[in-house]
């Protein structure tokens, strides 16, 4: 586990909301929230968007919110509508709640929370609209336990999207990032229509089309600690078709 960077004041006090979508993450969520709240970022809050998890993740999240009433918020959604819809809901609520910066990360402990202060520092010291925790820039790493087929799928997906969309980001499918609130408002959550993992690609594509600077910093991506991957055949199909839809849907969008 890396040591989190100690940011100077007032950077360390920035109003940062970390949006965490959950579906059957009861075992991982308490560990993740403990690590997030332990960071040297007193302005950090956690917003859990739970899609009515049958394993009781929503109840676990409620308990964490009771224990940390000023720092943990829970959004209970009606059912499993996909990663993209959960993020749009959670990010919208974070912005309405006054967040200056909004982070996205998975609940499965694959993204290191301790990297967030450094990512926030990179965002605040540059003109970037978003900073991505990247697996594929120099210094980025993949857990040795990550299955070979997942490595191949991730590598192929990035190459495929690069070829079709010409977006100059190495880790186009990355799900660990921090946005400026102004960049998110400029993108407009109403424009985002992806349901599954292609949400990440759509957000990166929109940010690029609107002229926002995107910065990638290296992270170590870990294999999930508990539970099962949510990657399904339907999400793979959506991801394969999405680049074609994006080129048509946003063809008139320009900075």
pLDDT, averaged across the chain: 88
Please say if the pLDDT value at position 150 is more than 80: no
Please report where in the chains the tokens 């940390």 appear, as a residue: 68
- Under the banding of pLDDT at 50, 70 and 90, the label for residue 78 is confident
CB 233 within 8 A of CB 201: no
Q: Cβ-count burial of 228 within 10 angstroms (0-12 exposed, 13-18 middle, 19+ buried)? A: exposed
Structure tokens that stand for 23 in this block:
């579906």
Nearest of 177, 171, 170 to residue 122 by alpha carbon: 177
Collapsing DSSP to helix, strand or coil, 239 comes out as helix
Q: Cβ-count burial of 170 within 10 angstroms (0-12 exposed, 13-18 middle, 19+ buried)? A: middle
Please say if the pLDDT value at position 17 is more than 70: yes
Please say if the pLDDT value at position 146 is more than 70: no
Can you give the residue ranges of every domain in the chain?
Answer: 11-253
CA distance 64 to 77: 17
Please report where in the chains the tokens 């579906």 appear, as a residue: 23
Does the pTM of the predicted model rise above 0.95? Answer: no
CA distance 97 to 84: 20
pLDDT of residue 255: 57
Spell out the CATH class of 11-253. Answer: alpha beta
């Amino acid at each position: 586990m890396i040591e989190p960077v100690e940011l100077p004041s007032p950077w360390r006090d920035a109003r940062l909301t970390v949006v965490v979508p959950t579906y059957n993450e009861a075992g991982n969520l308490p560990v993740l929230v403990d690590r997030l709240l332990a960071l040297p970022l007193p302005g950090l809050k956690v917003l859990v968007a739970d899609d009515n998890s049958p394993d009781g993740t929503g109840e676990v999240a409620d308990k964490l919110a009771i224990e940390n009433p000023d720092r943990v918020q829970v959004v209970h959604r009606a059912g499993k509508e996909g990663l993209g819809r959960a993020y749009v809901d959670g990010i919208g609520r974070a912005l309405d709640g006054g967040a200056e910066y909004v982070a996205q990360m998975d609940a499965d402990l694959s993204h290191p929370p301790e990297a967030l202060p450094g990512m926030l520092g990179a965002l605040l010291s540059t003109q970037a609209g978003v900073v991505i925790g990247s697996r594929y820039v120099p210094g980025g790493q993949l857990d040795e336990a990550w299955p070979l087929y997942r490595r191949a799928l991730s590598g192929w997906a990035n190459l495929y999207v690069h070829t079709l969309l010409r977006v100059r980001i190495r880790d186009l499918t990355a799900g660990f990032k921090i946005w400026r609130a102004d960049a998110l408002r400029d993108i407009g959550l109403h424009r985002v229509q992806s349901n599954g993992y292609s949400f990440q690609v759509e957000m990166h594509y929109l940010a690029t089309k609107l002229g926002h600077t995107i910065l990638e910093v290296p992270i170590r991506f870990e294999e999930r600690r508990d539970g099962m991957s949510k990657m399904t055949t339907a999400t793979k199909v959506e991801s394969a078709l999405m680049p074609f839809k994006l080129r048509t849907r946003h063809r008139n969008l320009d900075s």
